[in-house]
């Protein structure tokens, strides 16, 4: 067979957005529209019912909050769909598109949602249990923990050094970098270090520049979500299949079955 007879691989559109990303973004936008145009009473109800308040975990009904611990557990997911303004919302959606899309293409819709929501919950828990008593009644909202989790997950396969066999392999087809290999990969560690430093800076400077507790950067949630994504993608991802049809410690190839 000549080179001209070799079948070419179909190329996926570079900017194709997975439907699950569109779905998550649509839900976030619906809640943002309700917050913006539904009136102050509705916005207050959404904040009280869906935002994450550390008080619900440490002092039931503190300050008259309804629901107690049960509502707090529900809000570990629901807080990730509310935002404090359009800039907050659109920045998170842009990052979700940039880093969530390759993760979603790699995992598929169900596994992506499982990982994304796990990162939202992990970030919320880190934020709750690192909050001081004086901020127990400050609502925590935003998709940042889930979005940060997608950055962490992408770090396991997005860098060239994580390629094994085919240097032309698309990012979603690269073998996942084993978690024990992460400290040995300089680009990955630099990426992690930069993300940690940026969030620590925001954590120290943010309250001084915004002038309001409600505008503080939830940097603990960012870091919690990021490291959850970094660690959990290895548990969520379906193992690659070898050419014999079974799980194998091999690169993703044309024979890979992701059904």
**Tell me: the pLDDT tens digits for 18-38?**
999 999 999 999 999 999 999
> What does the block give as tokens for 238?
């379906």
pLDDT bin (cut points 50, 70, 90) of residue 171 is: low
Q: Give the separation between CA 157 and CA 9, rounded to whole angstroms.
A: 21
Torsion of CA 185, 191, 192, 195, to 10 degrees: 170
Q: Which fold does the domain 16-236 belong to in CATH? A: Rhomboid-like fold (1.20.1540)
- Which pLDDT band holds residue 238 (cuts at 50, 70, 90)? confident
pLDDT computed for residue 205 by the predictor: 65
What is the rounded average pLDDT for all residues in the chain?
A: 81
Percent pLDDT > 90 in the chain is: 58
Q: Average of pLDDT values for 214-240?
A: 84
Q: CA-to-CA distance for 123 and 118, rounded, in angstroms?
A: 9
The rounded distance, in Å, linking the Cα atoms of 130 and 54 is 9
Q: How confident is the model at residue 43 (pLDDT cuts 50, 70, 90)?
A: very high
DSSP 168: T
Q: What is the pTM of this model?
A: 0.81
pLDDT at 172: 53
Residue 252 has pLDDT above 50, yes or no: no
For residue 222, which of 207, 189, 200 has the smallest C-alpha distance? 200
Cα–Cα distance measured from residue 57 to residue 244, given in angstroms and rounded to the nearest whole number: 50
Closest CA to 251 of 169, 153, 158, 160: 169
Per-residue pLDDT at 219: 87
Closest CA to 124 of 53, 194, 173: 53
As a whole number of angstroms, the distance between CA 120 and CA 4 comes to: 49
Domain coordinates of the chain in residue numbers? 16-236
| Predicted pLDDT of residue 132 | 83
Digit-coded pLDDT (tens) for 86-128: 999 999 999 999 999 999 999 999 999 999 999 999 999 999 9
């Amino acid at each position: 067979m000549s080179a001209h007879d070799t079948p070419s691989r179909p190329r996926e559109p570079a900017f194709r957005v997975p439907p699950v990303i569109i779905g998550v973004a649509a839900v976030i936008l619906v809640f943002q529209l309700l917050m913006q145009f539904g009136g102050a009473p509705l916005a207050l109800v959404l904040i009280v019912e869906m935002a994450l308040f550390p008080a619900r975990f440490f002092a039931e009904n503190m300050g008259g909050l309804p629901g107690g611990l049960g509502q707090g557990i529900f809000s570990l997911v629901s807080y990730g769909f509310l935002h404090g303004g359009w800039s907050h919302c659109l920045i998170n959606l842009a990052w979700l598109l940039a880093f969530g899309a390759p993760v979603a293409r790699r995992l598929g819709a169900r596994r992506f949602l499982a990982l994304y929501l796990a990162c939202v919950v992990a970030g919320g828990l880190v934020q709750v249990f690192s909050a001081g008593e004086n901020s127990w009644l400050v609502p925590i909202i935003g998709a940042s923990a889930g979005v940060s989790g997608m950055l962490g997950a992408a770090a396991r396969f997005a860098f060239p050094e994580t390629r094994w066999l085919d240097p032309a392999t698309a990012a979603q087809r690269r073998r996942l970098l084993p978690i024990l290999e992460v400290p040995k990969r300089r680009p990955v560690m630099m990426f992690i270090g930069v993300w940690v430093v940026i969030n620590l800076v925001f954590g120290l400077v943010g309250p001084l520049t915004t002038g309001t507790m409600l505008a503080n950067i939830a940097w603990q949630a960012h870091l919690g979500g990021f490291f959850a994504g970094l660690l959990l993608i290895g548990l969520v991802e379906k193992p690659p299949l070898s050419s014999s049809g079974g799980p194998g410690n091999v690169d993703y190839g044309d024979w890979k079955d992701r059904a």
